[in-house]
Structure formats: C-alpha cells, structure tokens
Structure 1
C-alpha cells in the first residue's frame, strides 16, 4: 500500500551499511538520502532537509540512521496513527536517562530515529529563529523522573540540534517518548512501541567494515534477523531513493570555523576548533 504523504530520510555516512539496512525500511513511502559523507549531520542536516524537502508534499517524516535495523517496520505506521489522533508533533527516544551511553538531556530526542509532523512544522519553519533556541532556562520543563532509568543531565546542551526540539517545545508541541532497551553488547539498543520491539539501533555506523569490533557487533544483529549481509541486492542500483548532496558543505564549515577563530581572536577570546 502506497503512503505518499509519508517519507523516510537518512543522512548517510556509510552507504555500504545503508544499502543493507534500507531494504528493510517501511514499504510504500518516499525515500530520501542526504549524503553525510562530507561531514553533514545533526543540525546542519535538519536545516538542509527543510530546504530540500519543502516541496515534496510530505506530511510525516521519519528520520532513521543507516544503523537502524527494522524488525517490524510497519509499526511506524501505528506510531504515526497515534501521533495523528493525539496531535503529537515529535516522537523518539530520550537523549538522556534511557540509552546507557547517552546521559544528556532527557527532554530532547536523539535523531537516530525520530518521527515528526513535517507539514505542521514546515508551516512555522524559520531556521534563524530555531538557531536562537540553544539554551535552557531553570525549571522550564517538567519531567517524570521515574521514567528515567539511567543517567541524564536536565541542563545539557550537548547536541547542537537540541535548538530544533527546544524551539518546538517552546511552541508547546507535544512529544511522544519511545522506550529503548540496551542489548547484550551494551552498545546497541532496541526500540519499542506499546511494549513491542520493532527495531534496533547499533550506533557507530561510520565504523561498519572499518572497525572489526563494531563490524562484527553490527553483523551479529543483522544475522540474528536472518539478513544476508552478502546478498547481491545489497547495492545502490537496487534501491530507489532521492539523494541530496551539498557539494560545498565541507568548504563552508572550514570558512565558518576560520571566521569564528578570527572574530574570537580579535575579541580576545580563546577558541578551540573541534
């Protein structure tokens, strides 16, 4: 069944892994890729997607990294149905208090898997305004701490893309926080909706077929789902998606860092380029 109002976007750093996992993405929806091999990710990817997808007629957009492996991909449609009925704008896993190695802000969601009401957000979209929301006010939001099983920091601004979700929260948009459970390898996690496990997130996509430890760990999950990692279909020629590339992104970032360094030097501030 075709669902043209729904799209799935992956900012891909490792196309080899994407060619395997994307075959198990939800069927019947539009597929988009942002080439992240030049360093584009996070908030830059979010800004870029609103620029490029604004004319695509998308109502709901799923953000899924290439290291998200779907077990029951149709569950995403159940999540979207709930979001429609309850007027929820964002769903995803908290970036603190859930995943063992993500002890950051539990009000925010991590973009490895996120569903957004793209049409609703697009109507209010203003990237200049969004950029101004990278701050936290004391006791600005409330939270049920009993939902947080791990470590977290209510004041964390760890990810530059937090400004996007903070902007939405300050517009009083509703969030649906999904459950995540750590797997035996103590790095990967499962994703659950209504108590049902529907996907895994392995993390370290860039390390696939680069680092032996992470490659073996990711392959173990793929093989546990009977996914053939050596299948001849695992190449881009057999996939259908629309790809976007900002060919000059890395140049823009270098110029921005250089400019910031000069400005800080002239103002007497120290500046460390990460």
Structure 2
C-alpha cells in the first residue's frame, strides 16, 4: 500500500466536504431518523470525489485544479512500471480520473489505454486488444464498472487501485482480470491511500467483508477473528469522529507554512 501525504490545499477542500457530510450525518443520528443506506452513500459520494477527483468540483465547496499527491504517486508508479518494461492495470471509480492520468502519462511519453464507459465499447475493446494485450502500451486504465469483469489479462504484472470500493467483491473481480490460469509470474497488487481519508474506512470495510466471505465460502480461518464485524453505521460513526484528527493535521500544516513564509 502506498500512502501519499496530503497537499495542504487538497486537505482543506476535502475537510470542508467531509465536514458537510459529518454535520448532515450527525443530524439524522440525533433526530433518530432511519438510516437509508442509499441516501448515505449518495451523500458520502461527494467525500469520495473530494478525496479522489477534486478537479471535478464539489457543489457548494469548490474544486482543485492542481494534480493531487495521490495522482502524482500513481502517475510516477506507472512511469516506473513502463521503465521496467512491465505492464499494469489501473482501476479507478471515475472516468475523469482515467482521462486525467492518461493525459499526464502521455505527456511523459508513457503509452496507456483508457478503458471506460465514455468510450464506445467496440473501440475500447479493440484498443485494449491491439495496444495493451498485443501492443506496446504499458498501462490499461480502467474504471471498475467497465473493466472489472469479463476480460482475461494475464499479461499484466501489476494491478493498481487508485481508489477503494465499499465491497470486496468489486475489488476481487477487478484483480481477477490478471489472475488467469495462463498467467506467468507473480501478480503485484498496490493500493493508493491518502492517510486518514475515506480510503482508510473503505479499506476497513472491504477487509471485514473479505474475511466474512472467505470464512463462509471456503471455511477459511478468519484473519480478523478478534475484531467485531464492522457495520456501516459503526464505520461512519468512526469516520465522523476521526475528522478531528485530520483537522489537527491541517492546522499543523498551516502553522508550518506560516513559519516557512516568515
């Protein structure tokens, strides 16, 4: 797992977005209103955007035009993989992130193939086969919705997760694209996180769901047998409470910037 330290401007935008969600969530908990999971996930989607695609903008909060630290980390890793003459599949939620990373890599001379629903299916499949499977492209940049099922890609040496999901099945299906019977060599799987962000909480949720699924289906010994299973309410309560830690980080970064400017 790679942790990319926050850029101060990105952390500030993220915290404003997360605070808006936290205030809304506290209100529905305080009022005793029933928690509608669909409504909660729709609301927290803005937090996911703020962490992973701030260039898109968040209504009422703003946007960040600069490339983020996490995006730089992914771009640099894909550039290193290309220099090794290896191949990687990158998975992300949003096609805008895919296009952004592809354009940055193109400027660095790294050939990649974007693969998402904004590209006609016949074209994206043809590009995948011609340029990634049989050609010189070192990266296949997929949205999880378009690339996680139905394709055999044993030529990939790496699977990179730019952002996380709430469900283990989604990530498992994605990495299975490269774990085919005819692959050669060990597959390396890398996750990219912003410390203390929504990434951390999605990672916890996925870990518990994976543990439950593997124990139930395969009679495996649970890896988390000494921990209570995380319900979404429990996880979101922790997320809301832990925002104070990130606010402390932002205040510390602000003080350090003032010292440097003095």
- TM over 0.5, shorter chain: no
Higher strand share: 1
TM-score (norm 1): 0.27
TM-score, length basis structure 2:
0.28
Q: RCO higher in 1 or 2 (8 Å CA, sep ≥ 6)? A: 1
